[in-house]
Structure 1
């Protein structure tokens, strides 16, 4: 079967482009979120506006403090330079807050257009942010690739009718087959992408 061309790539941030040291267990404990519940979903269920705003600020403060310690993941600059040479547009969609995202992108000297944080659209696995990118680029979702390291990323791509690339830098998870492709480094990433993007011109 002939694969449809990839005409644009959207990236997750933490664990995909830069390192993250966020302690999600400690974050849940700080706002009273049950261990099995998604943090953002929990905050959204808080009925008291003051409690919700306080929980949101607590999480933002933790994210911003952690953002100062991020490091660029190996192979990312070379990979992005190659995509630029291939004339493939790149965007960023993250569950991070706007403030922490800005810090990490500045520290890593990375640029994307557009950059969508959780303030811009419902958080992944909701597909809204990915579809916003598709609309802004005027590229059909089936011609876009979403790249991430977590199951939310893969489900968001599926929900948006996009293909997905699991970047498994710390070992391949049991759910790897949910992704369209998997890679353990960005050399392999480019090897997978090369025949798909070069046919798009």
Structure 2
């Protein structure tokens, strides 16, 4: 094993970002500016897939694109203020630091991510932190994970594991060829979206056992 990629919200940090409100606000903004049609089923979309739909139209001007991202960033900054770590997160990354390459891939703006990670004093444990600015397309697309692999060209996807709580994390990770561990995830939802985790855990320190088992194979 060479490295591990973590999702951030509700994986390392107990986020209070209202993702439902973010999705609704961005969709309303895009409808108002006639980028997307009314009536899309929100049940079948995340914020990132709504944004991907908008990007695919070719109708987003530079100003509208910035305004859309500003809407997302406002939700992120508000939701990350005072965010606590998930149980066992600090101990896990402290234990792994220096032994494996540690990376984060988050759909959040890098500024919001760094503010929360620094507030919780774990930013320095990570070798690479990828925010949405470094991705062409957000999770569930694999761009962020491929960016990690590009930063460490001496490694192969199978020498990594990733950990995340949502189907978009698993989809992006698996599409990049990196085995995925679901942390407190909705496995039925993941399976319905074509995501089949390598393992399921309820406690972050349980990652250690899977790292050891893959190292010995």
Which category describes the TM-score, using the shorter chain as reference length? 0.7 to 0.9
Structure 1 residues 191 and 40: CA distance shift in structure 2, 3 A: closer
Is the Cα–Cα contact under 8 Å of residues 167 and 183 in structure 1 kept in the other structure? yes
Contact 1:94 1:117 in 2 (8 A): yes
Cα distance 1:117–1:83, how it changes in 2: closer, same or farther (>3 A)? same
Among 97, 119, 128, the alignment partner of 1:84 is 97
Report the 3-state secondary structure (helix = DSSP H, G, I; strand = E; otherwise coil) of the residue aligned with 1:119: helix
User: Which one of 117, 130, 133 corresponds to residue 119 of structure 1?
Assistant: 133
Q: Which residue in 1 is equivalent to 2:151?
A: 136
Q: Normalising by structure 1, what TM-score? A: 0.85
* CA RMSD across the alignment: 2.1
Within the candidate set 70, 74, 77, 1:61 is matched to 74
Q: For residues 48-71 of structure 1, what are the alpha-carbon distances to aligned partners after superposition, in whole Å with 9 as ceiling and x for unaligned?
A: 423332222111111112111210
Measure how far apart 1:28 and its partner are: 2.6
Pick aligned residue for 2:50 from 42, 56, 59: 42
Cα distance, 1:106 vs structure 2: 0.6
Mean Cα deviation higher: 173-182 or 120-129: 173-182
Residue 192 (1) aligns with residue 210 (2): yes
Deviation of residue 80 (structure 1)?
1.3
Query: What is the DSSP-based 3-state SS (H/G/I as helix, E as strand, rest coil) of the residue aligned with 2:103?
Result: strand
Distance change >3 Å, CA 79–CA 27, structure 1 → 2 = same
Question: What number of residue pairs does the alignment pair up?
Answer: 191
- Could you list the runs of 5+ residues in structure 1 that have no partner in the other structure? 1-5
Structure 2: which 5+ runs fail to align?
31-39
> How far apart, in 1, do the equivalents of 2:189 and 2:50 lie?
24
User: Deviation digits for residues 77-116 of structure 1, max 9, x if unmatched?
Assistant: 111122136x111011111111110111111211312110
Conserved in 2, the CA contact under 8 Å of 1:8 and 1:144? Answer: yes
* Structure 1 position 16, deviation (Å): 0.5
